[in-house]
Amino acid sequence: LADRPLAGKKVLVTAGGTVERIDPVRYLTNDSSGKMGFAVAEAARELGAEVTVIAARTSAPKPAGVELVKVESALELREEVLSRYAFADVAVMAAAVADYRPLRQEEQKIKKTGDTLTLELVKNPDILQELGERKNGQLLIGFAAETENVEANARGKLKRKHCDLLVANDVSAEGAGFGTDTNIITIYGSDGSSLPLPLVSKREAALRLMRLAAEKLGPAAKG
Ligand code: PMT
């Protein structure tokens, strides 16, 4: 059990960047490669967990030994996450979820007409917040991609979204955040703790995170 502290636990992870369709050939997305979420999934598996990854758009090699569910948009990601959440012991929201989506998804390719084109966006549901509100024994881990006021923003998200742990990364720092094989994270806890890690591989950061999750969870598997 010492090296498989997540044995018997179910871990749900999201990875990648959501794709929000504008028309059949165009979309809005972000720079997430899926590397961080996939590293979390592999770390959880290595520590003995049964892992499901809900993956939006990714460019990283698929993690081995885990169930992989592909989605496109934030709304699809939400469906897949919510349908599995009740059975999870740990949920980790590493995906970069679009805050807004186009109000209309045009069925036909938008024609080039005027000199300007206005795209109207509507807010997506905040999935992590919903998970926080529906928590029923799960250890809930959020991420925060920040470019300024990292600690204040991260602690704000931790509290607002009812997370147990919140992983902050300053995505403007060299070697951290989107696309890289490394990250610089600080893990904030709902108990007021903070664990800053130096620049390490996403694999190493993920292992540290999942070991901490295992400690927080304690030995008993969820009924
Ligand atoms: O994929 P990589 O290239 O390896 O890059 C890793 C990463 C930078 C994407 C990752 O480390 C990271 O920070 N993921 C979270 C990105 C993000 O959406 O951060 P945010 O601060 O906008 O959102 C805060 C949290 O709320 C996140 O857990 C996010 O999944 C969640 N969220 C956000 C918006 C929304 N509508 N629903 C959500 O659930």
Identify the structural domains of the chain with CATH numbers, from first to last.
10-99+121-217 (3.40.50.10300)
CA pair distance 147, 126, nearest whole angstrom: 20
Q: Which residues line ligand 1 (CB under 6 A)?
A: 32-37, 74, 93-97, 99, 124, 126-128, 142-145, 157, 169, 171, 177-179
pLDDT tens-digit readout, 70-91: 999 999 999 999 999 999 999 9
- Separation in Å, CA 115 to CA 78, 111, 112, 118, 194: 36, 12, 8, 10, 50
Over pLDDT 90: what percentage of the chain?
Answer: 96
Q: Of 30, 124, 169, 183, which residue is the catalytic one? A: 30
Backbone angles phi, psi at 7, to 5 degrees: -55, 135
Question: Residue range 157-166: average pLDDT?
Answer: 98
Ligand 1, atom 24, lies closest to the CA of 144
Output phi, psi for 207, to 5 deg.
Answer: -65, -40
Over residues 31-51, mean pLDDT: 98
Tens digits of per-residue pLDDT, 89-133? 999 999 999 999 999 999 999 999 999 999 999 999 999 999 999
Name the CA radius of gyration of the chain, rounded: 18
220: pLDDT strictly greater than 80: no
Per-residue pLDDT of 175-210, as tens digits, reads 999 999 999 999 999 999 999 999 999 999 999 999
Instruction: Note whether 90 and 117 are within 8 A (CB).
Output: no
Report the half-sphere exposure of 46 (CA within 13 A, side-chain side): 15
Q: Encoding tokens for residue 190?
A: 């709902």
Give the SS3 label for residue 35: helix
Cα distance between residue 144 and residue 157, in whole Å: 7
pLDDT at residue 74 in the model: 98
pLDDT over 70 for what percent of the chain? 97
> Residue 1's pLDDT is what?
62
Structure confidence at residue 223 as a pLDDT band (50, 70, 90): very low
Indicate if the pLDDT at residue 16 is higher than 60: yes
Atom of ligand 1 nearest to the CA of 176: 8
Nearest CA to ligand 1 atom 26: 128
Contact 76, 223 (CB under 8 A): no
The identity of residue 146, as a single letter, is E
Q: Residue 21: pLDDT above 80? A: yes
Residue with CA nearest ligand 1 atom 35? 126
Looking from the CA of residue 179, the nearest atom of ligand 1 is: 3
| Ligand 1 atom, smallest distance to 124 CA | 36
For a mutational test of ligand 1's pocket, the pick from 71, 93, 153, 174, i.e. the residue with the most ligand atoms closer than 8 A to its C-beta, is: 93
Average pLDDT, the chain: 96
Task: Kindly provide the ipTM of the predicted complex, given to two decimals.
Answer: 0.99
- Our answer to whether residue 30 is catalytic in this structure is yes
Burial of 47 (0-12, 13-18, 19+ CB in 10 A): buried
Average of pLDDT values for 50-65? 97
Ligand 1 centre from 5 Cα, in Å?
26
Closest-CA residue, ligand 1 atom 31, reads 128
The pTM of the full predicted model, rounded to 2 decimals, is 0.96
Å from CA of 182 to ligand 1 middle: 16
Q: Answer yes or no: are the C-beta atoms of 156 and 166 closer than 8 Å.
A: no
Which pLDDT belongs to residue 218?
A: 84
